[in-house]
Amino acid sequence: MTTIKDSVHDHIQVDGVARDLLDTPALQRLRNIRQLGTVSLVYPSANHTRFEHSLGVYHLACEALEQLGVDGTQAERVHAAALLHDVGHGPFSHNLESLTHRRTGRYHDDVHDVLSDGAVGEVLREHDLEPDAVANLVAGEGRFGQLVSGELDVDRMDYLVRDAHHTGVPYGTIDHGRLVRELTFTDEELVLDEGNVQAAESLLVARALMNPTVYSHSVARISKAMLRRAAERLLESPENATDGEALQRMDDHDLIVALRSCEATSTFSRRLDQRDLYKRAVWAEIDDVPGGIIEADHEEIRSFEREIAASADVDPECVILDVPGRPSMTESTTRVLVNGDVRQLGQQSPLVDALRGAQYSQWRLGVYSPPEMRDRIGRAAVDVLGLDIEGALVREVRNGMDTTLDQFLE
């Protein structure tokens, strides 16, 4: 048995298949992938890695299985899945996942190939574990897949606490000990036992507060968009041999070196290295954005960017259009037992509607540009995208507020 000191869970004991998986290349690679991507440009201490997080998820999975009374081969499968659940991540975690998915057709939780091949596959088979069965758990399939990837998964319980700890914000603090102790199965569904509506609400509130404060902070979004644009240019550059598969296998350091070494990405690389970031030329609320813009696919977004650049008479690389998906709240489907019935949290808690409204009001479309171009690019974007920002201006003026279009473009 190996005991590891962790900044969040104190001491983590690693035994069995997990101990033998620790030093495999696939797992050690996670030491070089930041958990929060470019968020460290906002919170300098947010340099924790996917490796630390994977240990935390394994630790919570062990505690959950113990209180559920699960042991033997089934427990070992879940232990392996918990520890390996992030080995499919590319560099800078989720920041480039949309790009690599377009190129490879795989998301980070599709790890069948990774678990079947090489040292990981050998370790799993030595412990009489079928790699495909472990990979299915990582994807959230089956009864115990819910524990690894689902509404009440130990992944979420660890990353909320860990991200709050390393950024220094208080919003992700949850009673993960109680959440783990109160897990139970009802009709093959993983639920929280009677009397735990408030515990489920704590997950919901923590995620709702961490999103605008950390995960979708405006600077984090800008740097993520710049990194994504740089990686896309890297893949498109004739001087570079990197393809989507190779990009997905890189760690953070590999990508940084590749971006610095490629002439087509050197400007973006310098800006990210020196934190010389683009600024918000437009920051528009959801009600001011036509529905067709929100639903646009990647090629349509790029077409809008070129049109905005042409209207503003600037290089297309000076315009980045960042359109989040429509607001969603996965945690509202968390299942809790109430008077013997399994209910979704959204049906039971009045907090859900309030937090949905807050999430809706926090949604923003962003257009980013070099600081010296933000005014003309912002005005061009308003025209090209048909944003109702001037309509919003009129409403604010009618409410007696001294607002200018320039302030909306900030």
Domains with residue ranges and CATH for the chain: 2-168 (1.10.3210.10), 278-326+363-410 (3.30.70)
> Pick from 299, 221, 288, 231: which is nearest to 259 by CA?
231
DSSP 96: G
Beta-carbon contacts of 377 under 8 Å, excluding residues fewer than 6 positions away, are 281, 308, 309, 312, 314, 318, 319, 367, 369
CA distances to 139, 150, 213, 218, 407 from 7, rounded to whole Å, are: 27, 25, 22, 28, 42
**CA–CA separation, 21 and 279 (whole Å):** 43
Kindly state the tokens that stand for 174.
């949850």
159 or 1: which leads in pLDDT: 159
Kindly state the tokens that stand for 22.
């620790």
pLDDT of residue 339: 87
Residue 277 confidence (pLDDT) above 90: yes
Q: What percent of the chain shows pLDDT beyond 70? A: 95
Task: Please name the amino acid found at residue 191.
Answer: V
**CA–CA separation, 12 and 158 (whole Å):** 13
Our CA angle for 91, 92, 96, nearest 5°, is 80
Q: What's the distance, CA 25 to chain centroid?
A: 23
Global model pTM greater than 0.85: yes
Quickly state the pLDDT bin for 92 (edges 50, 70, 90).
Answer: very high
Q: Are 47 and 34 in contact (CB under 8 A)?
A: yes
Residue 29 confidence (pLDDT) above 60: yes
Rounded average pLDDT over 248-260? 96
**pLDDT tens digit string along 285-307?**
999 999 889 999 999 999 999 99
Kindly state the tokens that stand for 226.
């710049």
Quickly state the pLDDT bin for 410 (edges 50, 70, 90).
Answer: very low
Maximum pairwise Cα distance, the chain: 72
Residue 404 confidence (pLDDT) above 80: no
Number of helices followed by number of strands (H, E) in the chain: 23, 9
**pLDDT tens digit string along 349-386?**
888 889 999 999 999 999 999 999 999 999 999 999 99
**CA–CA separation, 165 and 246 (whole Å):** 32
For the chain, what is the mean pLDDT? Answer: 91
Q: Are 148 and 134 in contact (CB under 8 A)?
A: no
